[in-house]
Chain A
Amino acid sequence: MMVDTASSDKVGVKLGMWLFLYTEIMLFGGLFVLYAAYYTRYTADFIQGGKSLDLFMGAFNTIILLASSFTVAGSITAVRRQKKKMALGMVFTSIVFGLLFLVNKYFEWGHKFEIGIYPGSQTLKQAGHGKSIFYGLYYVITGLHGLHIVIGMTLLSISFYFIASNRVHAERYVVLENSGLYWHLVDLIWIFIFPLFYLIL
Chain B
Amino acid sequence: MEDNGVEHILSYPKLVAVLCVLFGLTAVTIVVSRIELGILNIWIAILIASIKGSFVLLFFMHLKYESRLLKMTFVGTVVCLAILIGFIFWDISFR
Q: Which residues of A contact B (CB under 8 A)?
A: 10-11, 14-15, 18-19, 22, 25-26, 29-30, 33, 36-37, 40, 55, 59, 62-63, 66-67, 69-70, 72-74, 76-77, 80-81, 180-181, 184-185, 187-188, 191-192, 194-196, 199-201
Contacts and interface: CB of A to CB of B under 8 A. Distances in A.
9 contacts: A11-B2, A11-B4, A29-B85, A37-B89, A59-B30, A66-B19, A67-B19, A188-B53, A195-B46
A200 B11 CA distance: 36
A194 B77 CA distance: 22
Chain B interface extent, by class: 35 or more
A174 B22 CA distance: 26
Given A15-B70, A66-B22, A192-B49, 10 more contacts: A22-B73, A22-B77, A29-B85, A33-B88, A36-B89, A40-B89, A63-B26, A184-B56, A191-B56, A195-B45
A25 B81 CA distance: 8
B15 A73 contact: yes
A198 B15 CA distance: 27
Contacts of A62: 26
Nearest to A10: B4
Nearest to A78: B12
B52 A191 contact: yes
A199 B30 contact: yes
Interface in B19-75: 19, 22-23, 26, 29-30, 33-34, 36, 41-42, 45-46, 48-49, 52-53, 56-57, 59-62, 66-67, 69-70, 73-74
A39 B4 CA distance: 45
Contacts of A180: 60-61
B9 A184 contact: no
Contact of A200 (B23, B42, B73, B85): B42
Contacts of A185: 61
Contacts of B84: 26, 29-30, 33
